[in-house]
Homo-oligomer: A and B are copies of this chain.
Amino acid sequence: MAFYEKKLSRQDIYDGYIIHVHKDEVELPDGNTSFREIVDHHGGVCIVAVDSDGGVFTVRQFRYAYGREITEIPAGKLEAGEDPLDCAARELSEETGCTAEKIESLGVIYPTPGYASEVIHIYLATGLKRGESHLDEDEFLEAKKIPFKDLERMVLTGEINDAKTVVGVMRAKYVLGL
């Protein structure tokens, strides 16, 4: 690889509940050295769940980092070693009460390659059956179905700005041929 950066040393900074932070000294491609501050995270999943009426499940929740509520597709953190597909089925059920006949991969995204190693796995869920939602104890959100065409307009015009939601909706449109 032309531009490889070699780790010279690592300073562990924070071993938290969902994030782990370290600062590495690296050798750059030209032989000089620099530092890279990195946030490690187990990764996550998100689900574009399309109902038989063409509506897509979204959730509205308070995001402390931004100090306000935003709209996203259902999502959650991977537990260590968990299969992303299992995680997607679990989060879909927890946040919307739905089970899906079919869950297929829409690939992954790298949300912030400059400083975080997180990978988010995106799934398309169809053949939905409604049940009861059952949220985590520190989770408060409102699930709402939005027609696909409206959601597409919202992610393209900036009414919805959550990265995984924009990517999920546009890849689902591509796969579904909408």
Contacts and interface: CB of A to CB of B under 8 A. Distances in A.
Interface of A: 1-5, 13-14, 16-19, 21, 23-24, 26, 28-30, 32, 34-39, 41, 44, 60-66, 68-70, 72, 75, 77, 106-118, 137-138, 140-142, 156-158, 161-164, 166-167, 170-171, 174
Given A19-B21, A38-B64, A63-B114, A3 B70 contact: no
A126 to B, nearest CB: 18
A116 B65 contact: yes
B117 A1 contact: no
Contact of A18 (B69, B114, B174): B114
The binding surface of chain A is classed by DSSP as mixed
29 contacts: A1-B69, A3-B69, A14-B14, A18-B37, A18-B115, A24-B64, A29-B62, A30-B140, A34-B138, A38-B64, A39-B115, A39-B116, A65-B113, A65-B115, A65-B116, A66-B117, A72-B113, A77-B114, A109-B163, A111-B111, A111-B112, A112-B163, A113-B162, A116-B116, A156-B171, A163-B164, A166-B166, A166-B167, A170-B170
A99 to B, nearest CB: 24
Contacts of A1: 62, 68-69
A17 B50 CA distance: 42
B166 A109 contact: yes
Contacts of A18: 37, 114-115
Closest 3 CB pairs of A and B: A107-B158, A3-B62, A111-B111
